Amino acid sequence: MSNFKMIVDKARITQLPIPAKLNVVLVNGDSSKPSCGIYQHGLSVWNILRRIDDGKSAFKFSYLSVCNGSEFLEFDKNNQVDIYIFNGNGGTMPWLSLNYLRQISALKIKFTHDITNYDAVFFSPGVFDFLLTDDLTVEITNPFVLKVGRLICESVGRNTDNNFHVKNKLKVGSFGLALPDKGFEGIVEKFARQNIPVEFNFHMPKSDYMDPDGVMQKSIVTQCKKKLVNSKNLLNVSTEFLDKSDLVKFLANNDVNIFNYQVNRGGNNQVSGVTEYALAANRPFYVSRCPMFRNIANIAPLPFDFSSLNVDSDLMISFDKNLIAQEYVRSEWTNSAFVYDLTSALAYAIINKDLSRALFRNIKNYFKNKIRDKFLKNNYSYINNLHTVNDSKCVIPQLVTFPDNSILDHEKSGIIFSSIIDDIKSTCPVSVANKVPVSLVQHAYVANRIMRTANPESMPKIACLGAYGDILSEYLKKKGYVVFDIDPNINYAIENYIERGPNLLGTFDICFSVSVLEHVPDDEGFVSGALALLKPGGTFVNTLDFRAPTLDDYLPSTHVRFYDKKSLSNLVSLFGREAIPTDKCWGDAINNFHYNNTSYTFATLFIEKLIK
């Protein structure tokens, strides 16, 4: 059984064991307590699913809001359901337990918003058959963990004016349940000493679950008032619950919105959905380095980083970059892409239903996980750091000139790229520790080529193809670039990425990969997909494993091929009418890199998409 990899082949969907249309029920929390982020997210999901044309889908979707297990069992008794998606946790659905769920035969999927990579990697079916998450940083190497993209709130009230200017007054907004560690006071403190008056607009309803009497809410408002300092500044606080469209309108009415959660909030597993509202409002917004914002920070940490925002500089420059980064994110987080992901996940789950209920294996994994959690969990701490970018070191190192489409000898080229290699080591020390040191010459070449092609100030849109375990994506993000990671172990194979988002064709300035092509069965399709994503004039930058003629024909199990001059030239020639390769040479090579029981070297591949 292979892992999910976000997408199910369309041919497999025809193998569904139930020929009739499958009934899927989205189960949400108690509707009497609507001021809950998880509950509101469930409403957003249902708002998308209810619009799906039943005639064109293998699934018929329904919605259920319940407050207890007995009510749920009564519903199940009176309805024929194939799949339940439970949007909740122990706090919002306290009845969600084995006691009730073991009484139903339908497939049970928990839509979790509070998960770490550790939890995902070692999840084993039990109470639930599968986990479903919209945390984009979670890996999907576990065959029982499914993933969907993020949803942006309906853009009702969205501000479409990108050409605004801050004049006589700066309007700073924020919203969120009034709970400790949300950082409202810090927002006031940072902006309160501006030369122009600042109007702080905070929407802070109380939490029905954690602050039913509003005591926390009143305390936070009092602390914010103490930070105002300048008598010309104004603090407006609204506390009544707003529906989604009014919330987007509230955010759109501000010049900038800030979400300043303290770093320790969320316990490293929770994810905040406030950024989806901010994206809908189309106003500049910034977030703290709290892991709860990792979905946005993992794409573009610097353009959204509140800590790096200099309020004494020209804010409009920062705002413009922020709005560009927002457009890039909005193009990815679409309703159609979410539906594509979800229906693929459901098809996969139905196909593999019996495997998720293999009793002996599940019992064995249950006890293994108990032992691991109690005695060995600290040994796996690295798992939760794979896709976290919390630091910012945006100084560009000294760049060098190096020929494209040439041999990249790690000994000679390592000297040429030594300063960049050192910078990669200092910028990404944790990730570098897992790499063979001399292989960093590949990352240095690609980084150098990208930074020579486009400065981060110009906000190029970049795709890292084969991003699983890649350190260059992290490095470029820390330099201020916006990078989208594409990899079947994180989200998609490139062909599926294009299929779910045809709007993304021709929108990237740069695509890159580091030692990926030799592992891809269809290298021609990989290159073709990269070129399809690029704008005319965009560049595709690669390194690959290259072997000069030798009697050693050993091919490691990790590889599909090694390239030589002939095979690489043949690959490039296939795209002669679509792209312009430069310096096509790949001259003399020495197989002096020894790894995986064989010897080889590296080569560079640089292709520029033809401007027609």
pLDDT of residue 520: 94
| pLDDT at 157 > cutoff 60 | no
Looking at the chain, the whole-number percentage of residues with pLDDT higher than 70 is: 89
Cα–Cα separations (whole angstroms), residue 526 to 233, 254, 331 = 55, 43, 22
Q: In this structure, what token pair is assigned to residue 564?
A: 């030589």
Picking from 383, 340, 352, the residue whose alpha carbon sits closest to that of residue 147 is 340
DSSP bridge pairs for 593: 600
| pLDDT at 392 > cutoff 80 | no
Reduce the DSSP state of residue 399 to 3 states and report it: coil
pLDDT of residue 158: 47
126: Cβ contacts below 8 Å, ≥ 6 apart: 98, 362, 366
397: Cβ contacts below 8 Å, ≥ 6 apart: 419, 420, 422, 423
By mean pLDDT, which of 102-106, 291-295, 478-482, 580-584 is the weakest? Answer: 580-584
Distance CA 37, CA 40 (A): 5
The CB density around residue 21, as the number of other CB atoms within 10 Å, is 14
Distance CA 27, CA 96 (A): 11
| pLDDT at 52 > cutoff 90 | no
Averaged pLDDT for residues 271-283: 92
| pLDDT at 238 > cutoff 90 | yes
| 507 and 331 Cβ atoms separated by less than 8 Å | yes
| 571 and 524 Cβ atoms separated by less than 8 Å | yes
DSSP bridge pairs for 512: 464, 541
**CA count, 13 A, side-chain hemisphere, 245:** 3
Averaged pLDDT for residues 443-459: 96
Output the 3-class SS for 140-152. CCCCCEEECCCCC
pLDDT of residue 389: 54
Averaged pLDDT for residues 577-582: 54
Average pLDDT, rounded, for the chain: 87
| pLDDT at 563 > cutoff 70 | yes
269: Cβ contacts below 8 Å, ≥ 6 apart: 114, 115, 116, 119
Question: What is the DSSP track for 86-120?
Answer: EE--TTT-TT-SHHHHTT--SEEEEEESB--HHHH
Averaged pLDDT for residues 59-88: 93
Q: In this structure, what token pair is assigned to residue 597?
A: 């029981």
Averaged pLDDT for residues 338-349: 93
What letter would DSSP give residue 79? Answer: S
Averaged pLDDT for residues 1-23: 53
Banded model confidence at residue 109, pLDDT cuts 50, 70, 90: very high
Distance CA 406, CA 568 (A): 11
pLDDT, tens digit (0-9, with 9 covering 90-100), for 398-449: 999 999 999 999 999 999 999 999 999 999 998 898 889 999 999 999 999 9
Q: CA 83: distance to chain centroid?
A: 26
| pLDDT at 306 > cutoff 50 | yes
The CB density around residue 554, as the number of other CB atoms within 10 Å, is 12
Identify the residue with better confidence: 118 or 4. 118
By mean pLDDT, which of 25-29, 221-225, 355-359, 582-586 is the weakest? Answer: 582-586
Distance CA 579, CA 605 (A): 12
Domains and CATH numbers, the chain: 10-151+335-379 (3.40.50.2300), 170-313 (3.40.50.2000), 393-609 (3.40.50.150)
By mean pLDDT, which of 287-301, 364-378, 437-451, 582-596 is the weakest? Answer: 364-378
pTM score above 0.75 = yes
pLDDT of residue 67: 87
pLDDT of residue 499: 93
Picking from 169, 235, 227, the residue whose alpha carbon sits closest to that of residue 201 is 235
| 18 and 353 Cβ atoms separated by less than 8 Å | no
157: Cβ contacts below 8 Å, ≥ 6 apart: 245, 246, 248, 249, 252, 281
pLDDT of residue 11: 43
Picking from 308, 43, 276, 235, the residue whose alpha carbon sits closest to that of residue 151 is 276
| 249 and 224 Cβ atoms separated by less than 8 Å | no
The CB density around residue 572, as the number of other CB atoms within 10 Å, is 17
Amino acid at 172: V
Cα–Cα separations (whole angstroms), residue 125 to 81, 98, 358, 366 = 20, 12, 9, 9
| pLDDT at 547 > cutoff 60 | yes
Distance CA 601, CA 544 (A): 9
Q: In this structure, what token pair is assigned to residue 534?
A: 């690029």
| pLDDT at 222 > cutoff 70 | yes
Averaged pLDDT for residues 358-370: 79
Banded model confidence at residue 382, pLDDT cuts 50, 70, 90: low
| pLDDT at 575 > cutoff 90 | no
Distance CA 268, CA 295 (A): 12
Q: In this structure, what token pair is assigned to residue 292?
A: 């709860």
7 sits in the region (left: phi over 0; alpha: psi -120 to 50; else beta) called beta
Banded model confidence at residue 13, pLDDT cuts 50, 70, 90: very low
| pLDDT at 18 > cutoff 60 | no
What letter would DSSP give residue 379? Answer: G
Averaged pLDDT for residues 249-262: 95
| 73 and 103 Cβ atoms separated by less than 8 Å | yes
By mean pLDDT, which of 8-22, 443-457, 517-531, 576-590 is the weakest? Answer: 8-22
Picking from 562, 482, 555, the residue whose alpha carbon sits closest to that of residue 298 is 482
pLDDT of residue 494: 95
pLDDT of residue 381: 62
Looking at the chain, the whole-number percentage of residues with pLDDT higher than 90 is: 56
| pLDDT at 120 > cutoff 60 | yes
Identify the residue with better confidence: 367 or 485. 485
69 sits in the region (left: phi over 0; alpha: psi -120 to 50; else beta) called alpha
| pLDDT at 133 > cutoff 70 | yes
